[in-house]
Amino acid sequence: MARFGMVIDTRRCVGCMDCVVACATENDVPDGYCRDWIVEETRGRYPTLAMEIRSERCNHCDNPPCVHCCPTGASHVEDFGTTVQVDPELCIGCKACLASCPYDARFIHPQGYADKCTFCVHRVKDGKDPACVAVCPTHCMHFGDLDDPNSEVSRLIASRPNHSLLPEAGTRPRIFYLT
């Protein structure tokens, strides 16, 4: 069984937000909401400042607190790619999953259910990349099976310094940022 993940090269990302627009268009994300977003992090002391630009979204964690706390099973790990998904027909809109996510990656869709990045599984099932990955003009985003040592994402993780977000939260996120 595949274990989908994403690798994002922060040395290539320019924060153009094409991924954000592509996601909103592909997934019909309502106005005023976003499933992915751009973060600019600046560290250091002038003049030795370092900036990292990241495209962030749900990390489809291996240990997903949103799934553990869901009272109805609406938030679940899907067999296909072991991604974290939400079934709107089961969601009661209790918002426990929003509060349980250390990345604040979820929101309440105007129709009342919890919503978030799906890794565009509907596209992936057709053999395509997620919309954000497909449109990236700098090709900084890579998608694939983390359990396959020969996949592009596995090779990038093995060959380049990288970090994930808040590993100390214990969620074992599946998006890795190359530095």
| Segment near another protein (CB under 8 A); pick from 4-12, 83-91, 131-139, 155-163 | 83-91
If binding is defined by CB under 8 A, does position 168 make contact with another protein?
Answer: yes
If binding is defined by CB under 8 A, does position 41 make contact with another protein?
Answer: yes
Write out the two tokens for 95. 């918002």
DSSP designation for 174: S
If binding is defined by CB under 8 A, does position 165 make contact with another protein?
Answer: yes
Q: Say whether 4 sits in a helix, a strand or coil.
A: strand
If binding is defined by CB under 8 A, does position 100 make contact with another protein?
Answer: yes
Nearer Cβ to another protein, position 137 or 170? 170
**SS3 track for 35-89:** CCEEEEEEEEECCEEEEEEEEECCCCCCCCHHHHHCCCCCEEECCHHHCEEECCC
If binding is defined by CB under 8 A, does position 164 make contact with another protein?
Answer: no
DSSP designation for 167: G
Nearer Cβ to another protein, position 61 or 120? 61
Window 10-39: contact mask with another protein (x via CB under 8 A): -------x--x-----------xxx--xxx
Window 131-150: contact mask with another protein (x via CB under 8 A): --------------------
Say how far apart CA 119 and CA 48 lie, in whole Å: 36
If binding is defined by CB under 8 A, does position 77 make contact with another protein?
Answer: no
Pairing of strands 141-145, 4-9: antiparallel
If binding is defined by CB under 8 A, does position 78 make contact with another protein?
Answer: no
